[in-house]
Amino acid sequence: MHVIAAWRMHNQRLWGDPRATPAEVVAGLAAMQAQEFAVARWSVAQRCTGVTAAAMDAAYDAGEILRTHLLRPTWHFALPADLRWLLALTAPRVHALNAYYYRRTELDDAVFARTNALLAGVLAGGNHLTRQELAAFLAGEGIVAAGLRMGYILMRAELDAVICSGARRGRQHTYALFDERVPPGPPVDRDAALAELTRRYFTSRGPATVKDFARWSSLTVAECRAGLEMVGSALVDETLDGRIYRYAPGSRGTPPPSPRVDLVQCYDEVVMSYSESRDVLGGEADGTPTLPHAILLDGQLVGYWRPAGKTVEATVRRTLAAPAHRALRDAVYRYAAFVGTPVDLVG
């Protein structure tokens, strides 16, 4: 068991004391990548006690947790109370990353000003509309809104705090007016936002390096170092294997009895929060995976899995001893409790 991997599993709440509610999970992590919505719900729920897919859907539809683009050019879960400062801090960097695609799709500030105003108008008054409905509306206003271009029109409106996720309509996702889902707040102080993101990142994901933080947040290394100076003694550092890791004092936890297996989705924060020190996750499962999601044995990557109806398909790159295989079945049972239906292990 790698000491840093185990430490992270605790700080990310995959081990140890779980959070009470989905909102507490998301608040602790500040933002959670939610590119694949179905399994992103699992990432939140497995850090809680007894939270099912149905409970996650209810919290999401009620707007307790929202989904929008921030940090990097992909969707994240975040709390309404955090969205204004998160966007103010990270949206400029996402715009810079998107600049090539803005040009490629012939989208400039003048076009975005018009599309933002149109989207705000059609969504006002509690209208939650699907991407297809919004595309049809924009087309009716003479705007080319299809494919990649429509994607960047919507992303820009999210980054500009015009729209965010609405309540789902069946299995379809909708967009809602940002100001109707997010409480008003005072003007954002950038230094305060940077300090807060730095504190939450290293508290919930430490031990981690400055480069890990920069890649996760999309901020520059210089900005990340400035954030560390702001939080000061709230964090400590330690050099291990030639890297300087930062973390919150007193954040080491006691590992659960070994063997322990966790099924985490491929965009889970325990995977996506690190770049320079991602190798801490382990290398037994190196190579091209046949399944998308990660099987962690005592916090180390040993194989892959995916949900497939009433089964979980799993492949491992080594023979598991009987106790480890039982731990894998226990992990499948935990996933079954989340989806609310019996799930068999295949593979």
> Which of 181, 198, 218 lies at the terminal end of a domain, its last residue?
181
Q: Write phi, then psi, for 303 (nearest 5 degrees).
A: 180, -165
Note whether 128 and 53 are same-domain residues: yes
Range of the domain at 43: 17-181
Query: Does residue 338 sit within a domain?
Result: yes
Q: What's the confidence (pLDDT) of residue 285?
A: 45
Whole-number Å distance between alpha carbons of 220 and 209: 13
Query: Does residue 3 sit within a domain?
Result: no
- The b/e string for 309-340 (b: 16+ C-beta within 10 A; e otherwise) is eeebbbbbeeebeeebeebbeebbebbbbbbe
Note whether 130 and 219 are same-domain residues: no
Under DSSP, is residue 304 helix (H, G, I), strand (E, B) or coil? strand
What is the edge-to-edge ordering of all strands in the sheet holding 66-70? 32-33, 72-78, 66-70
> Which of 203, 224, 247 lies at the terminal end of a domain, its last residue?
247
CATH of the domain at 194: 1.10.10.10
Query: Does residue 42 sit within a domain?
Result: yes
Note whether 173 and 25 are same-domain residues: yes
Note whether 299 and 341 are same-domain residues: yes
Domain count, the chain: 3
Q: What's the confidence (pLDDT) of residue 253?
A: 85
299 and 6 Cβ atoms separated by less than 8 Å: yes
Q: Indicate the pTM of the whole model.
A: 0.95
Note whether 35 and 168 are same-domain residues: yes
Note whether 57 and 153 are same-domain residues: yes
Whole-number Å distance between alpha carbons of 47 and 29: 11
Reading the block at residue 254, the tokens are 């006691």
- Residue from 126, 153, 152, 124 nearest 138 by CA: 153
Sequential pLDDT tens for the chain (347 residues):
589 999 999 999 999 999 999 999 999 999 999 999 999 999 999 999 999 999 999 999 999 999 999 999 999 999 999 999 999 999 999 999 999 999 999 999 999 999 999 999 999 999 999 999 999 999 999 999 999 999 999 999 999 999 999 999 999 999 999 999 999 989 999 999 999 999 999 999 999 999 999 999 999 999 999 999 999 999 999 998 899 999 999 888 889 999 999 999 999 999 999 999 999 998 654 556 789 999 999 999 999 999 998 999 999 988 999 999 999 999 999 999 999 999 999 98
If you search the block for the tokens 């179905």, which residue do you land on? 38
Query: Does residue 10 sit within a domain?
Result: no
Query: Does residue 2 sit within a domain?
Result: no
Note whether 173 and 195 are same-domain residues: no
Q: Quick one: how far is CA 248 from the chain centroid?
A: 21
Note whether 236 and 318 are same-domain residues: no
Whole-number Å distance between alpha carbons of 15 and 26: 16
Q: Write phi, then psi, for 208 (nearest 5 degrees).
A: -150, 160
295 and 316 Cβ atoms separated by less than 8 Å: yes
Beta-strand ranges (E) seen in the chain are: 32-33, 66-70, 72-78, 129-130, 163-165, 174-177, 236-240, 243-247, 261-264, 293-297, 300-308, 311-316, 344-346
Note whether 172 and 208 are same-domain residues: no
Under DSSP, is residue 136 helix (H, G, I), strand (E, B) or coil? helix
Q: What's the confidence (pLDDT) of residue 281?
A: 92
Query: Does residue 256 sit within a domain?
Result: no
How many alpha carbons lie under 13 Å from residue 259 in its C-beta half-sphere?
19
CB atoms within 10 A of CB 190: 12
Under DSSP, is residue 184 helix (H, G, I), strand (E, B) or coil? coil
Under DSSP, is residue 345 helix (H, G, I), strand (E, B) or coil? strand
Note whether 209 and 273 are same-domain residues: no
Note whether 199 and 267 are same-domain residues: no
Note whether 159 and 217 are same-domain residues: no
